Amino acid sequence: MNNNFRCNCPITSALDIVGDKWTLVIIKQMLLEGKKTFKDFSESDEAIASNILSSRLKMLEQFKIITKEKLTHNKKTNIYLLTEKGLGLTPTIIELTLWSDLNIREHHSSIISDSRIEMVKKNKEESIKMIVEFYKQKTDYNKT
Amino acid sequence: MNNNFRCNCPITSALDIVGDKWTLVIIKQMLLEGKKTFKDFSESDEAIASNILSSRLKMLEQFKIITKEKLTHNKKTNIYLLTEKGLGLTPTIIELTLWSDLNIREHHSSIISDSRIEMVKKNKEESIKMIVEFYKQKTDYNKT
DNA sequence: TATTTTTGCTTGTAAAACAAAAGTAATAAA
DNA sequence: TTTATTACTTTTGTTTTACAAGCAAAAATA
Protein backbone atom coordinates (compact mmCIF):
# COMPACT_ATOMS: atom_id res chain seq x y z
CA MET A 1 0.00 0.00 0.00
CA ASN A 2 3.00 2.29 0.35
CA ASN A 3 3.58 2.48 -3.37
CA ASN A 4 2.87 5.48 -5.55
CA PHE A 5 3.80 7.90 -2.79
CA ARG A 6 6.72 10.19 -3.55
CA CYS A 7 8.13 10.30 -0.04
CA ASN A 8 7.18 10.17 3.63
CA CYS A 9 5.96 13.76 3.98
CA PRO A 10 2.28 13.97 4.98
CA ILE A 11 1.59 16.98 2.78
CA THR A 12 3.25 15.52 -0.29
CA SER A 13 1.39 12.25 0.33
CA ALA A 14 -1.95 14.08 0.55
CA LEU A 15 -1.08 15.73 -2.76
CA ASP A 16 -0.25 12.33 -4.23
CA ILE A 17 -3.98 11.63 -3.81
CA VAL A 18 -5.78 14.96 -4.27
CA GLY A 19 -3.03 17.04 -5.92
CA ASP A 20 -4.13 17.04 -9.52
CA LYS A 21 -6.27 19.09 -11.84
CA TRP A 22 -9.58 17.30 -11.19
CA THR A 23 -9.84 15.50 -7.86
CA LEU A 24 -10.60 18.48 -5.62
CA VAL A 25 -12.90 19.91 -8.29
CA ILE A 26 -15.00 16.73 -8.14
CA ILE A 27 -15.05 16.83 -4.33
CA LYS A 28 -16.07 20.48 -4.43
CA GLN A 29 -18.92 19.67 -6.81
CA MET A 30 -20.19 17.04 -4.41
CA LEU A 31 -19.78 19.13 -1.26
CA LEU A 32 -20.93 22.54 -2.43
CA GLU A 33 -22.95 21.95 -5.58
CA GLY A 34 -24.91 18.86 -4.62
CA LYS A 35 -23.63 16.76 -7.51
CA LYS A 36 -23.83 13.03 -7.03
CA THR A 37 -24.26 11.17 -10.32
CA PHE A 38 -21.92 10.60 -13.24
CA LYS A 39 -24.18 12.79 -15.32
CA ASP A 40 -24.11 15.62 -12.75
CA PHE A 41 -20.31 15.76 -12.95
CA SER A 42 -20.26 15.37 -16.74
CA GLU A 43 -22.52 18.38 -17.23
CA SER A 44 -20.51 20.70 -14.99
CA ASP A 45 -19.03 24.05 -16.05
CA GLU A 46 -15.58 22.54 -15.76
CA ALA A 47 -16.40 20.02 -18.52
CA ILE A 48 -14.40 17.02 -17.38
CA ALA A 49 -13.95 14.26 -19.96
CA SER A 50 -15.89 11.12 -19.14
CA ASN A 51 -12.88 8.80 -19.08
CA ILE A 52 -10.97 11.05 -16.66
CA LEU A 53 -14.07 11.35 -14.50
CA SER A 54 -14.45 7.60 -14.48
CA SER A 55 -10.86 6.99 -13.40
CA ARG A 56 -10.98 9.67 -10.68
CA LEU A 57 -14.20 8.33 -9.17
CA LYS A 58 -12.66 4.86 -9.10
CA MET A 59 -9.54 6.18 -7.37
CA LEU A 60 -11.55 8.17 -4.81
CA GLU A 61 -13.60 5.07 -4.04
CA GLN A 62 -10.43 3.02 -3.55
CA PHE A 63 -9.15 5.56 -1.03
CA LYS A 64 -12.57 5.55 0.66
CA ILE A 65 -13.03 9.27 0.09
CA ILE A 66 -16.33 8.57 -1.65
CA THR A 67 -18.78 5.66 -1.82
CA LYS A 68 -20.67 4.36 -4.83
CA GLU A 69 -24.24 3.36 -4.11
CA LYS A 70 -27.46 2.77 -5.94
CA LEU A 71 -30.96 3.94 -5.17
CA THR A 72 -33.42 1.19 -4.26
CA HIS A 73 -35.64 1.76 -7.26
CA ASN A 74 -33.00 2.57 -9.84
CA LYS A 75 -30.46 -0.10 -10.67
CA LYS A 76 -28.61 1.97 -13.25
CA THR A 77 -27.65 5.30 -11.82
CA ASN A 78 -24.70 5.31 -9.45
CA ILE A 79 -24.87 7.72 -6.53
CA TYR A 80 -21.47 8.97 -5.44
CA LEU A 81 -21.33 10.31 -1.87
CA LEU A 82 -18.56 11.75 0.27
CA THR A 83 -17.52 9.63 3.24
CA GLU A 84 -16.42 11.12 6.57
CA LYS A 85 -12.89 10.97 5.16
CA GLY A 86 -14.01 12.93 2.13
CA LEU A 87 -15.94 15.41 4.24
CA GLY A 88 -12.71 15.88 6.20
CA LEU A 89 -11.43 17.82 3.20
CA THR A 90 -14.02 20.55 3.81
CA PRO A 91 -11.61 22.84 5.74
CA THR A 92 -9.01 22.51 2.97
CA ILE A 93 -11.59 23.43 0.34
CA ILE A 94 -12.87 26.35 2.42
CA GLU A 95 -9.34 27.72 2.93
CA LEU A 96 -8.64 27.43 -0.78
CA THR A 97 -11.85 29.32 -1.48
CA LEU A 98 -10.89 32.13 0.89
CA TRP A 99 -7.42 32.37 -0.64
CA SER A 100 -8.88 32.45 -4.13
CA ASP A 101 -11.44 35.08 -3.21
CA LEU A 102 -8.67 37.36 -1.96
CA ASN A 103 -5.91 36.65 -4.45
CA ILE A 104 -7.11 35.36 -7.80
CA ARG A 105 -9.50 38.07 -8.87
CA GLU A 106 -6.60 40.19 -10.17
CA HIS A 107 -5.80 37.43 -12.66
CA HIS A 108 -9.37 36.36 -13.39
CA SER A 109 -11.87 39.19 -13.26
CA SER A 110 -15.01 37.22 -14.10
CA ILE A 111 -14.65 34.94 -11.12
CA ILE A 112 -17.91 34.42 -9.21
CA SER A 113 -18.25 34.91 -5.49
CA ASP A 114 -20.21 32.23 -3.69
CA SER A 115 -22.73 33.73 -1.26
CA ARG A 116 -21.40 31.41 1.43
CA ILE A 117 -18.02 33.14 1.42
CA GLU A 118 -19.30 36.00 3.56
CA MET A 119 -20.70 33.54 6.06
CA VAL A 120 -17.38 31.71 6.17
CA LYS A 121 -15.45 34.94 6.69
CA LYS A 122 -17.58 35.79 9.71
CA ASN A 123 -17.40 32.43 11.45
CA LYS A 124 -15.17 29.88 9.83
CA GLU A 125 -15.49 26.93 12.18
CA GLU A 126 -19.25 27.22 12.48
CA SER A 127 -19.63 27.54 8.70
CA ILE A 128 -17.60 24.41 8.07
CA LYS A 129 -19.80 22.48 10.49
CA MET A 130 -22.90 23.84 8.80
CA ILE A 131 -21.68 22.90 5.33
CA VAL A 132 -20.89 19.36 6.46
CA GLU A 133 -24.22 19.00 8.29
CA PHE A 134 -26.10 20.35 5.31
CA TYR A 135 -24.38 17.82 3.06
CA LYS A 136 -25.26 14.93 5.36
CA GLN A 137 -28.91 15.94 5.73
CA LYS A 138 -29.34 16.41 2.02
CA THR A 139 -27.83 13.03 1.12
CA ASP A 140 -29.90 11.21 3.77
CA TYR A 141 -32.98 12.79 2.29
CA ASN A 142 -32.04 11.78 -1.22
CA LYS A 143 -31.36 8.18 -0.31
CA THR A 144 -34.89 7.46 0.94
CA MET B 1 -5.57 37.67 -18.08
CA ASN B 2 -8.77 35.57 -17.89
CA ASN B 3 -7.37 32.84 -20.09
CA ASN B 4 -6.30 29.42 -18.91
CA PHE B 5 -9.04 29.30 -16.30
CA ARG B 6 -11.56 26.49 -16.71
CA CYS B 7 -14.56 28.43 -15.46
CA ASN B 8 -15.66 31.15 -13.05
CA CYS B 9 -15.63 29.10 -9.87
CA PRO B 10 -13.15 30.44 -7.28
CA ILE B 11 -12.11 26.98 -6.11
CA THR B 12 -11.57 25.62 -9.60
CA SER B 13 -9.63 28.77 -10.47
CA ALA B 14 -7.39 28.35 -7.42
CA LEU B 15 -6.77 24.80 -8.56
CA ASP B 16 -5.92 26.07 -12.04
CA ILE B 17 -2.90 27.67 -10.35
CA VAL B 18 -1.92 25.41 -7.45
CA GLY B 19 -3.79 22.21 -8.34
CA ASP B 20 -1.04 20.06 -9.74
CA LYS B 21 1.46 17.51 -8.55
CA TRP B 22 4.26 19.95 -7.69
CA THR B 23 3.16 23.52 -6.94
CA LEU B 24 1.97 23.04 -3.34
CA VAL B 25 4.95 20.77 -2.67
CA ILE B 26 7.31 23.60 -3.60
CA ILE B 27 5.37 26.07 -1.45
CA LYS B 28 5.44 23.61 1.46
CA GLN B 29 9.21 23.26 1.10
CA MET B 30 9.60 27.02 1.32
CA LEU B 31 7.18 27.53 4.20
CA LEU B 32 7.95 24.56 6.41
CA GLU B 33 11.39 23.35 5.37
CA GLY B 34 13.21 26.63 4.85
CA LYS B 35 14.09 25.90 1.23
CA LYS B 36 14.84 28.95 -0.88
CA THR B 37 17.31 28.17 -3.68
CA PHE B 38 17.03 26.11 -6.85
CA LYS B 39 19.51 23.68 -5.35
CA ASP B 40 17.47 23.33 -2.13
CA PHE B 41 14.41 22.27 -4.12
CA SER B 42 16.41 20.02 -6.44
CA GLU B 43 17.85 18.06 -3.55
CA SER B 44 14.51 17.43 -1.84
CA ASP B 45 13.10 14.00 -0.99
CA GLU B 46 10.42 14.53 -3.60
CA ALA B 47 13.08 14.67 -6.35
CA ILE B 48 11.49 17.13 -8.76
CA ALA B 49 13.04 17.27 -12.24
CA SER B 50 14.94 20.47 -12.87
CA ASN B 51 12.95 21.54 -15.92
CA ILE B 52 9.64 21.13 -14.10
CA LEU B 53 11.05 23.03 -11.12
CA SER B 54 12.19 25.82 -13.38
CA SER B 55 8.80 26.18 -15.04
CA ARG B 56 6.89 26.08 -11.74
CA LEU B 57 9.08 28.74 -10.14
CA LYS B 58 8.54 30.92 -13.19
CA MET B 59 4.77 30.43 -13.00
CA LEU B 60 4.67 31.16 -9.26
CA GLU B 61 6.65 34.34 -9.84
CA GLN B 62 4.24 35.43 -12.58
CA PHE B 63 1.30 34.98 -10.20
CA LYS B 64 3.24 36.89 -7.51
CA ILE B 65 3.08 33.96 -5.13
CA ILE B 66 6.88 34.03 -4.83
CA THR B 67 9.63 36.54 -5.57
CA LYS B 68 13.03 35.87 -7.09
CA GLU B 69 15.86 37.90 -5.55
CA LYS B 70 19.61 37.79 -5.29
CA LEU B 71 21.84 38.31 -2.28
CA THR B 72 24.03 41.43 -2.45
CA HIS B 73 27.30 39.51 -2.56
CA ASN B 74 26.25 36.57 -4.71
CA LYS B 75 25.23 37.16 -8.29
CA LYS B 76 24.70 33.50 -9.00
CA THR B 77 22.24 32.06 -6.53
CA ASN B 78 18.60 33.02 -6.81
CA ILE B 79 16.65 33.32 -3.58
CA TYR B 80 13.00 32.39 -3.92
CA LEU B 81 10.72 33.76 -1.19
CA LEU B 82 7.00 33.55 -0.50
CA THR B 83 5.08 36.80 -0.85
CA GLU B 84 2.12 37.68 1.37
CA LYS B 85 -0.03 36.09 -1.33
CA GLY B 86 2.04 32.92 -1.09
CA LEU B 87 1.97 32.97 2.71
CA GLY B 88 -1.81 33.23 2.40
CA LEU B 89 -1.76 29.56 1.40
CA THR B 90 -0.55 28.59 4.88
CA PRO B 91 -4.04 27.70 6.20
CA THR B 92 -4.69 25.52 3.14
CA ILE B 93 -1.40 23.69 3.66
CA ILE B 94 -2.08 23.26 7.38
CA GLU B 95 -5.55 21.84 6.74
CA LEU B 96 -4.15 19.43 4.17
CA THR B 97 -1.55 18.32 6.72
CA LEU B 98 -4.20 17.67 9.36
CA TRP B 99 -6.31 15.72 6.90
CA SER B 100 -3.33 13.68 5.80
CA ASP B 101 -2.27 12.98 9.38
CA LEU B 102 -5.72 11.56 10.15
CA ASN B 103 -6.56 9.82 6.90
CA ILE B 104 -3.55 8.76 4.86
CA ARG B 105 -1.62 6.65 7.31
CA GLU B 106 -3.80 3.63 6.53
CA HIS B 107 -2.57 3.78 2.93
CA HIS B 108 1.00 4.83 3.67
CA SER B 109 2.36 3.45 6.90
CA SER B 110 5.83 5.01 6.76
CA ILE B 111 4.50 8.55 6.69
CA ILE B 112 6.32 10.89 9.05
CA SER B 113 4.56 13.10 11.58
CA ASP B 114 5.85 16.65 11.79
CA SER B 115 6.34 17.75 15.40
CA ARG B 116 4.36 20.89 14.62
CA ILE B 117 1.19 18.88 14.00
CA GLU B 118 0.52 18.55 17.73
CA MET B 119 0.92 22.29 18.16
CA VAL B 120 -1.49 22.93 15.29
CA LYS B 121 -4.06 20.51 16.72
CA LYS B 122 -4.04 22.39 20.03
CA ASN B 123 -4.36 25.90 18.65
CA LYS B 124 -4.80 26.16 14.93
CA GLU B 125 -5.10 29.90 14.40
CA GLU B 126 -2.20 30.75 16.70
CA SER B 127 -0.01 28.10 15.08
CA ILE B 128 -0.67 29.45 11.61
CA LYS B 129 0.33 32.94 12.77
CA MET B 130 3.48 31.53 14.36
CA ILE B 131 4.47 29.62 11.22
CA VAL B 132 4.02 32.74 9.08
CA GLU B 133 5.91 34.95 11.56
CA PHE B 134 8.71 32.43 11.82
CA TYR B 135 9.01 32.35 8.04
CA LYS B 136 9.18 36.12 7.82
CA GLN B 137 11.79 36.45 10.57
CA LYS B 138 13.97 33.77 9.10
CA THR B 139 13.94 35.24 5.62
CA ASP B 140 14.71 38.75 6.90
CA TYR B 141 17.65 37.29 8.75
CA ASN B 142 18.93 35.46 5.70
CA LYS B 143 18.75 38.48 3.46
CA THR B 144 21.15 40.62 5.50
C1' DT C 1 -40.61 -3.79 -28.87
C1' DA C 2 -38.26 0.52 -29.83
C1' DT C 3 -36.18 4.49 -28.00
C1' DT C 4 -33.81 7.13 -24.68
C1' DT C 5 -30.91 7.70 -20.72
C1' DT C 6 -27.05 6.65 -17.93
C1' DT C 7 -22.63 5.00 -17.34
C1' DG C 8 -18.22 4.26 -18.71
C1' DC C 9 -15.04 2.31 -22.36
C1' DT C 10 -12.14 2.82 -26.74
C1' DT C 11 -9.53 5.27 -30.03
C1' DG C 12 -6.55 8.63 -31.97
C1' DT C 13 -4.36 12.97 -31.03
C1' DA C 14 -2.34 16.59 -28.18
C1' DA C 15 -0.18 18.17 -24.13
C1' DA C 16 2.51 17.54 -20.14
C1' DA C 17 5.81 15.08 -17.24
C1' DC C 18 9.90 12.92 -16.94
C1' DA C 19 15.12 11.68 -16.88
C1' DA C 20 19.34 12.61 -18.68
C1' DA C 21 22.37 15.49 -20.61
C1' DA C 22 24.13 19.79 -22.31
C1' DG C 23 24.58 24.81 -21.92
C1' DT C 24 25.68 29.18 -19.45
C1' DA C 25 27.41 32.23 -16.32
C1' DA C 26 29.33 33.21 -11.67
C1' DT C 27 32.61 31.90 -8.40
C1' DA C 28 36.39 29.37 -6.34
C1' DA C 29 40.68 26.81 -6.54
C1' DA C 30 45.14 25.56 -8.40
C1' DT D 1 45.20 32.66 -15.47
C1' DT D 2 43.64 28.46 -16.63
C1' DT D 3 40.70 24.91 -14.60
C1' DA D 4 37.06 23.19 -11.83
C1' DT D 5 32.92 23.69 -9.34
C1' DT D 6 28.44 25.54 -8.38
C1' DA D 7 23.86 27.15 -9.52
C1' DC D 8 20.72 27.36 -12.37
C1' DT D 9 18.36 26.79 -17.15
C1' DT D 10 17.34 24.66 -21.43
C1' DT D 11 17.20 20.88 -24.70
C1' DT D 12 16.24 16.23 -26.19
C1' DG D 13 13.86 12.04 -26.61
C1' DT D 14 10.68 9.07 -24.21
C1' DT D 15 6.74 8.00 -21.43
C1' DT D 16 2.60 9.19 -19.34
C1' DT D 17 -1.57 11.54 -18.98
C1' DA D 18 -5.32 14.44 -20.79
C1' DC D 19 -8.56 15.11 -23.98
C1' DA D 20 -12.57 14.96 -27.54
C1' DA D 21 -15.39 12.17 -30.08
C1' DG D 22 -17.56 8.30 -30.75
C1' DC D 23 -19.16 3.64 -29.23
C1' DA D 24 -21.58 0.19 -26.38
C1' DA D 25 -23.95 -2.13 -22.59
C1' DA D 26 -27.61 -1.95 -19.24
C1' DA D 27 -31.69 -0.22 -17.64
C1' DA D 28 -35.65 2.81 -17.83
C1' DT D 29 -39.27 4.63 -20.47
C1' DA D 30 -42.58 5.12 -24.22
Radius of gyration, CA atoms only, chain A: 16
Q: Is the CB of A50 under 7 A from strand D?
A: yes
Closest partner CB to A2 (pick from B6, B25, B110): B110
CA atoms of B50 and B57, how far apart (whole Å): 11
pLDDT given for residue A144 in this prediction: 40
CA atoms of B134 and B116, how far apart (whole Å): 13
Which residue type occupies B23? Answer: T
Is the domain B10-143 a CATH 3.20.20.100 member? no
Average pLDDT of chain B, as a whole number:
91
- CB within 7 A of strand C (chain A, 78-117): 78
Distance from residue A49's CA to nucleotide D23's C1', rounded to whole Å: 15
The 10s digit of each residue's pLDDT in B14-61 is 999 999 999 999 999 999 999 999 999 998 988 899 999 999 999 999
Q: Are A94 and A125 spatial neighbours (Cβ–Cβ below 8 Å)?
A: no
- Nearest residue on chain B to A107, alpha-carbon basis: B1
Closest chain B C-alpha to A45 CA, distance in angstroms: 6
For residues A55-62, give the mean pLDDT: 91
- Other Cβ atoms closer than 10 A to A66: 24
**A24 and chain B in contact, CB less than 8 A:** yes
Asked whether the predicted pLDDT for residue B67 surpasses 90, the reply is yes
In chain B, domain spans:
10-143
Apex CA A19: angle with CA B104 and CA B83, to 5°?
110
pLDDT given for residue B141 in this prediction: 52
Closest chain B C-alpha to A143 CA, distance in angstroms: 26
